[in-house]
Structure formats: C-alpha cells, structure tokens
C-alpha cells in the first residue's frame, strides 16, 4: 500500500474511509471525518500465513496450554483501604491492570488520582500530567493533604518520555492525565485525534502489561456523554470507570461500566469537600437526609447499583400548564421513560397529564437507570397530581409495563434488607417477586399487580 495514501477517520467511532464524506457511514455522525496519515511502522504488517506444515519448530512457536495447566499465580490486588474505591475496582487494583477513568471536565478525576498518593503512601506512583504543571499538581496535593515521597510527578505528553520515566522510577502505579494530551511524535496527527489516542493507549497498554504495574488513564467525556476518542478505547482497556455527578452537588459517583476483574456497574460514592473527596459509606442515609415529610409528590425507591441497593428520594411536581405543549423536565431519570409512565398513568389510572407540566427530580444529583424505580416515579407523579402525600414509611419497587402491570425486578432481597435497615415499615414490590423472598426481613412486604392498585393504596 502506498504509504502516503490519506485516510479519513471518524472522530466518534474510529471508522475509516478513503475519501472525505460529510456523514460517517460507520456511525451516522455528521462532520466527524478527519484526514489522518500514519507512519509506516504502525501500518499493519500482513503476516505470511502460507504454510507447508513447516511452521517453525515447536519450541519457539506459541503453544496452547490445557486449562488446568495454566498457572494463575498469586492474585495480586492492591487495596487502597478506601472501600468505596476498592469495591468499584472489584476488590482492589489488580496488578497489571489497565483502567480508563472518564468524566466531565472539572468533576474531580485529577483530584481522585492525586488522592491515590494519600491512599497508598508506600507505593511508588508515577503521575504524568499533560494538562497541568507539576506546580499545579503539587498545590492540589497540598490541599488534599497528600505529601508522599513515593509520588513522582512528570509533566510530559510524549509516550516515549513516559516510557523512559517508567524505566527510571519503576512505579507500582502509573497515572496518565489525560489521554487527550498524550501523543506519539512519530504519528503526524494532532494530540487528541483518534489515531493518537488509539496508538498512545496501545503503547501505554503494552508497557503496562510488560512491566506488570497498574495504569489509570484519565479521559474526558464528550458532550454526548461518551469517552472522547474512539470507542475502541473501551475495548482495549480492562476497566472503564465513569466519574459522574452534578457539578452543583457535592456527591460524586464512581461507576465501573466494564471490569474484567470484578462486577460491572458497581458504584462508589464520594463527597467533594474543600480538602478533597471523602467516601460516603452509607449513601442511602445521605440521599434521604433532606426528605420532605407530609408533602405531596415525594416517594422513596430502591435502585440496585451493581451489587449495592441504594434508596433515593424521587420528587415530582405536577402543575396546570400555561403552554400549548406541556413541559416535561426531568433530572436524574430518562425523560422518555417518564413520558411512557405518564402515558400509562393517563390511560390506566385516568390521570390527565396532557394539560399539566411535570417536573421530576432525583434527589442528591444521582442518575437512576434501573427500571425498578418506575413505580416510585409513577406514584410521585400521581401523588403530586392529586396533591395527596404518599405514605412516607413505604419504599416502592417495581417496573411499570405498558399495560399498567407491575413487572418483576431482579434481586429483591438485598433491596428489602436495605429498606429494613433504614427503618422503613413497608415495601411495595411486584406480586411475582413475592415467592422469591426466602429470608425474613423486618419490614411489611405487599405485592402489587397493577399500577392503579398501588395508586389507591399508597395515596
């Protein structure tokens, strides 16, 4: 292939095309194709697979091993002692693992990474900063009370220089902040472009696996909420963590969306303070602490985040609209899901939302995605519509179907346990879940089949 052939790479999905097009044929995004050229050494070398049965002698080529013969060795995990962090990592940072931590700018990624120095004072950490100066990182570390002499700072963006520093320091942990600034000078494209992000990550990945330290790669998130750079990044790494939260709230959630060494979707909750992040071991208590009692439009739901049930307050406000198209404003919940729930309430329970504005707010800046919170959202809306407070001692668990039926949810028992622990008297759960409850919980459990039934009982 001629080396100078230009190619056009989609900055969203990494799709490659031979000519420029306005729309990417890979993902359908507009105006995302950018011309990139690659140097010869990264061009895939097509191996010569012609074989005449003479594939080298068996001592040199890579031999498959039978499963029982594969050696496991010690499972070396680095525990930070901060439970909220260790849980998300699947019980500690696996030696030789490569993790990507992504989040909006200013959410606290660099803060969390700097704090690793405080969590692990006797581990050598090499903190590569491509965005800030060493002085800035030091100032932050001072604010966080981190003063470890095992924390090495390097202001660098060149992958080769980073590899040299790894040789010098031999760290247990490498932090690269951020991947959008790191580049390989032998590639002509700009830092942050798809090929740079992909190739720099590949180089760091190789380095990590060869030397068996662990790496955290910091990445920014685009407006659409995906990690800036190609999707392939997510496939390359062992663990993908999202650091999320509302800038206006103090709570931050660290969520593993992919983890080769533990359960995915596990969350850790932190609070951002003046002097850094503080772990929140009992998030339900925090999320319920500002609950309004005796007010219509408030319910409590239980959402399972990874292996952990969390109780959160849902607030709804339904008011007559003064617009021709009524408003639907939602924070922390999918607005399409809300539309569906309102339609079901209208059709099955006769609540006419079509001339009302509906505002839904999930307290504490949390984002709920599990369908098991549907019932709570529906009842909050119905409660505000009728202006009758819902029973404050009840937790509502259930998915709402289009027929108004309450559908089964997964793992009902840990949810009941959490609700009982926080002193709730009653849990409304899907009827079909009742026979899956084996244990005894100090809470009244009632089964529900239809949304209309719950509306009548709870309000």
Instruction: Give the shortest CB-218-to-Mg ion separation in angstroms.
Output: 7
Binding partner selected for residue 144 from ligand TYD, Mg ion, none, CB under the kind-specific 5 to 8 Å limit? ligand TYD
Q: Are strands 267-273 and 125-129 parallel, antiparallel or unpaired?
A: unpaired
Three-state DSSP at 12 gives: coil
Helix (H) or strand (E) holding 402: none
Instruction: Give the shortest CB-132-to-ligand TYD separation in angstroms.
Output: 8
Q: Which is nearer to ligand TYD, 110 or 296 (CB)?
A: 110
By the 8 A CB rule, do 335 and 313 touch? Answer: no
* Residue least distant from Mg ion (Cβ): 110
Q: Which is nearer to ligand TYD, 145 or 403 (CB)?
A: 145
Q: Which is nearer to ligand TYD, 142 or 347 (CB)?
A: 142
Q: Are strands 298-305 and 394-396 parallel, antiparallel or unpaired?
A: parallel
For ligand TYD, the binding residue among 11, 97, 99, 111 (CB under 6 A) is 111
Instruction: Give the shortest CB-250-to-ligand TYD separation in angstroms.
Output: 8
For ligand TYD, the binding residue among 22, 53, 68, 106 (CB under 6 A) is 106
Q: Using the rule CB under 6 A, is 171 a contact of ligand TYD? A: no
Q: Which stretch binds ligand TYD (CB under 6 A): 63-71, 109-117, 329-337, 433-441?
A: 109-117
Residues 6+ apart with CB under 8 A from 348: 403, 404, 450, 451, 452
Nearest to 380 by CA among 366, 370, 367, 394: 394
Instruction: Give the shortest CB-272-to-ligand TYD separation in angstroms.
Output: 5
Question: Burial of 269 by CB count in 10 Å (0-12 exposed, 13-18 middle, 19+ buried)?
Answer: buried
H runs (alpha helix) in 108-171:
109-119, 134-144, 159-169
With CB under 6 A, what is the number of residues at the site for ligand TYD?
15
Instruction: Give the shortest CB-219-to-Mg ion separation in angstroms.
Output: 10
Residue 200: what are its φ and ψ, rounded to 5°?
A: -65, -40
Q: Using the rule CB under 6 A, is 181 a contact of ligand TYD? A: no
State the Cα angle at 21 between 19 and 22, rounded to 5°.
Answer: 165
By the 8 A CB rule, do 345 and 381 touch? Answer: yes
What is the pattern of x (binds ligand TYD, CB under 6 A) and - over residues 141-170? --xx--------------------------
Q: Which is nearer to ligand TYD, 111 or 296 (CB)?
A: 111
For ligand TYD, the binding residue among 14, 90, 92, 103 (CB under 6 A) is 103
How large is the greatest C-alpha to C-alpha distance in the chain, in angstroms? 82
Q: Strand 328-331: give its sheet, edge to edge.
A: 328-331, 356-362, 308-320, 298-305, 394-396, 426-430, 444-448
Q: Are strands 151-155 and 125-129 parallel, antiparallel or unpaired?
A: parallel
Q: Which is nearer to ligand TYD, 33 or 128 (CB)?
A: 128
For ligand TYD, the binding residue among 6, 28, 105, 225 (CB under 6 A) is 105
For ligand TYD, the binding residue among 14, 90, 92, 108 (CB under 6 A) is 108
- What is the DSSP-derived secondary structure letter of residue 191? T
DSSP 154-169: EE--BHHHHHHHHHHH
Q: Using the rule CB under 6 A, is 109 a contact of ligand TYD? A: yes
| Strands in 250-408 per DSSP E | 251-259, 267-273, 276-279, 298-305, 308-320, 328-331, 356-362, 394-396, 399-400, 406-407
Q: Which is nearer to ligand TYD, 258 or 278 (CB)?
A: 278
What is the pattern of x (binds Mg ion, CB under 5 A) and - over residues 92-131? ------------------x---------------------
For ligand TYD, the binding residue among 33, 100, 107, 137 (CB under 6 A) is 107
What is the pattern of x (binds ligand TYD, CB under 6 A) and - over residues 239-278? ---------------------------------x-xxx--
Q: Which is nearer to Mg ion, 110 or 183 (CB)?
A: 110
Helix (H) or strand (E) holding 65: none
Q: Which is nearer to ligand TYD, 77 or 140 (CB)?
A: 140
Q: Which is nearer to ligand TYD, 68 or 106 (CB)?
A: 106
Q: How far apart are CA 115 and CA 118, in angstroms?
A: 5
Note the residues at the interface with ligand TYD (CB under 6 A): 103, 105-111, 140, 143-144, 272, 274-276
Note the residues at the interface with Mg ion (CB under 5 A): 110
């Amino acid at each position: 292939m001629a080396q100078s052939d230009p190619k056009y790479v989609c900055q969203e999905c990494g799709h490659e095309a031979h000519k420029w097009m306005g729309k990417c044929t890979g993902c359908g995004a507009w105006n995302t194709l950018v011309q990139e050229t690659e140097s010869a050494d990264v061009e895939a070398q097509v191996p010569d697979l012609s074989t005449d049965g003479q594939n080298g002698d068996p001592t040199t080529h890579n031999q498959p091993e039978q499963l029982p013969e594969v050696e496991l060795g010690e499972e070396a995990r680095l525990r930070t002692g901060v439970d909220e962090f260790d849980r998300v990592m699947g019980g500690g940072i696996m030696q030789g693992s490569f993790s990507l931590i992504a989040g909006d700018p200013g959410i606290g990624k660099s803060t969390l990474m700097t704090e690793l120095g405080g969590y692990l004072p006797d581990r050598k950490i090499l903190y590569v900063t491509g965005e800030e100066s060493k002085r800035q990182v030091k100032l932050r570390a001072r604010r966080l009370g981190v003063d470890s002499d095992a924390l090495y700072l390097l202001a660098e963006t060149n992958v080769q220089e980073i590899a040299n520093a790894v040789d010098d320091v031999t760290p247990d942990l490498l932090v690269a902040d951020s991947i959008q600034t790191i580049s390989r000078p032998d590639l002509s494209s700009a830092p942050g472009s798809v090929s740079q992000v992909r190739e720099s990550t590949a180089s760091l990945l190789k380095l990590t696996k060869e030397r068996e330290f662990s790496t955290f790669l910091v990445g920014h998130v685009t407006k659409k909420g995906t990690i800036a750079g190609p999707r392939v990044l997510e496939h390359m790494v062992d663990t993908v963590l999202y650091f999320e939260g509302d800038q206006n709230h103090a709570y931050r959630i660290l969520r593993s969306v992919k983890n080769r060494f533990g359960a995915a979707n596990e969350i850790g909750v932190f609070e951002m303070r003046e002097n850094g992040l503080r772990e929140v071991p009992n998030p339900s208590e925090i999320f319920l602490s500002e609950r309004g009692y005796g007010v219509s439009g408030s319910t409590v739901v239980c959402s399972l985040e990874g292996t952990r049930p969390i109780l959160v307050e849902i607030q709804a406000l339904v008011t007559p609209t003064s617009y021709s198209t009524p408003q639907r404003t939602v924070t922390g919940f999918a607005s399409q899901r809300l539309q569906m729930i309102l339609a079901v309430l209208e059709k099955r329970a006769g609540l006419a939302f079509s001339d009302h504005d509906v505002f839904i707010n999930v307290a504490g800046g949390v984002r709920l995605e599990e369908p098991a919170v549907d019932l709570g959202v529906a009842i909050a809306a119905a409660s505000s519509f009728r202006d009758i407070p819902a029973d404050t001692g009840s937790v509502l668990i259930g998915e709402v179907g289009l027929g108004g039926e309450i559908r089964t949810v997964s793992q009902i028992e840990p949810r009941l346990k959490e609700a009982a622990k926080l002193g709730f008297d009653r849990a409304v759960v899907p009827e079909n879940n009742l026979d899956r409850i084996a244990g005894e919980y100090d809470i009244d459990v009632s089964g529900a089949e239809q949304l209309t039934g719950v509306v009548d009982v709870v309000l």
